[in-house]
Each structure stands twice: as structure tokens, then as C-alpha cells.
Structure 1
């Protein structure tokens, strides 16, 4: 299921606050002549992506280990 703009309705906060705005800004960039400061935007995006990935992997690990503790 997606929302009107084609994105998942449960988009994580970090994605909405950091990654999505950067993606929107970059949509209009000229690949041959990126704007000044493009590397800073890239670095912010990559850091947010790394944090998001670590959070997702950690959550999966916690859920997996919790499944081992459920009696049954």
C-alpha cells in the first residue's frame, strides 16, 4: 500500500527529515555541474542512511532474539 505520492505510509522519521529532502533537492541538479556544497549533502545523506540501516538491522536482531524467548 502506498500513499498518494507513491511512498509507503509508514515512512521512517529519519527518512522524512533528512533523506527525502536531499533526494528532492538533487532531482534538479545537473550531473555534469553539481552545485557548490554537494559533497556536504552527500555526506549527510550517507550518514542518515547508515544510521537508518543500523537501526533496521538492530531491530531485526532484537525481534529475532525475542522470538526465541516466546514460550510455545
Structure 2
């Protein structure tokens, strides 16, 4: 049973890292290259879509890694799993304090209703997101290392 939990946790966190990495380094660059209104509308749609899904994915990753840490507490690599769980908790706290407030505003913007500093707010979100991606990549790396 522990083996299955280890694999499921690693895959779930790994997929989350892949999505967030793609947002940071691929999708945002594509949206930013579109004409102003199209790019802003794309960011708003992405904020609605991923803003609905990601809370479950982040919390699920924390729960899975915590379950692995508890179930595997007497096994090799337990400290790595605990460290990964802590990093995932940090990513959730970062999300709630820094990224979600900006995303909640962004997801409602249209070309007619967006504030004058909308681009600066999106750039701020991106800076925070880069840090969050680094945190979850580190967590994923620790989980992968705990497997071996």
C-alpha cells in the first residue's frame, strides 16, 4: 500500500509541477505575445479555469505527501517526504497570500473593466508564480529522491 501511495503522490505532484511550469514559461509567453485585448482575455480565462482546479490539486498534493510522511515514517527517505510536504504547504500559503488575490481580480477583467495597472499586476503575479514553481519543483525533487 505504501508503494502505491508513493507512486500516486509523486505522479500527482509531478503533473502539477508540469502544469505550473508550462503556465510560467510557455502559456504566459504565448498570451503576452497576443494583441493586448486578446492576451488579457486569455489571462482572465486561464485564471478562471486554473483558479478553479488548482486549489484541489495543491491541497491534494499536501494531503498525499502528508499521508506518505505518516505511513512511511519508519522507512528510508521519510525526512525527504516531510521536507517536501513542508514545501508544498509553503506553496499553498504563498498562493493564498500572494497569487490568489491577484488572480481573483484578473479573472473578472475585460478590456472595458480592467484597471490601468492590469499589466503590472499580471507581471507581479508572474514573479510570485516563478518563486512558487521553484518551491514545488524542489518538493517534487525531494519526493523523487525519497523513492530511491
Q: TM-score, with normalisation over the residues of structure 2? A: 0.37
1:40 to 106, 111, 120: 120
Structure 1 residue 55 displacement after superposition: 0.9
Structure having the larger proportion of residues in helix? 2
Stretches of structure 2 lacking an aligned partner (at least 5 in a row) = 1-52, 60-90
Structure 1 residue 36 displacement after superposition: 1.1
Structure 1 residue 23 displacement after superposition: 1.4
Aligned residues: 64
Q: How many Å separate the matches in 2 of 1:42 and 1:18?
A: 12
- Secondary structure of the corresponding residue to residue 31 of structure 1: coil
2:145 to 59, 62, 65: 65
Stretches of structure 1 lacking an aligned partner (at least 5 in a row) = 1-5
Structure 1 residue 13 displacement after superposition: 0.6
Structure 1 residue 31 displacement after superposition: 2.5
Structure 1 residue 33 displacement after superposition: 5.7
Higher relative contact order (CA 8 A, sep 6+): 2
- Secondary structure of the corresponding residue to residue 137 of structure 2: helix
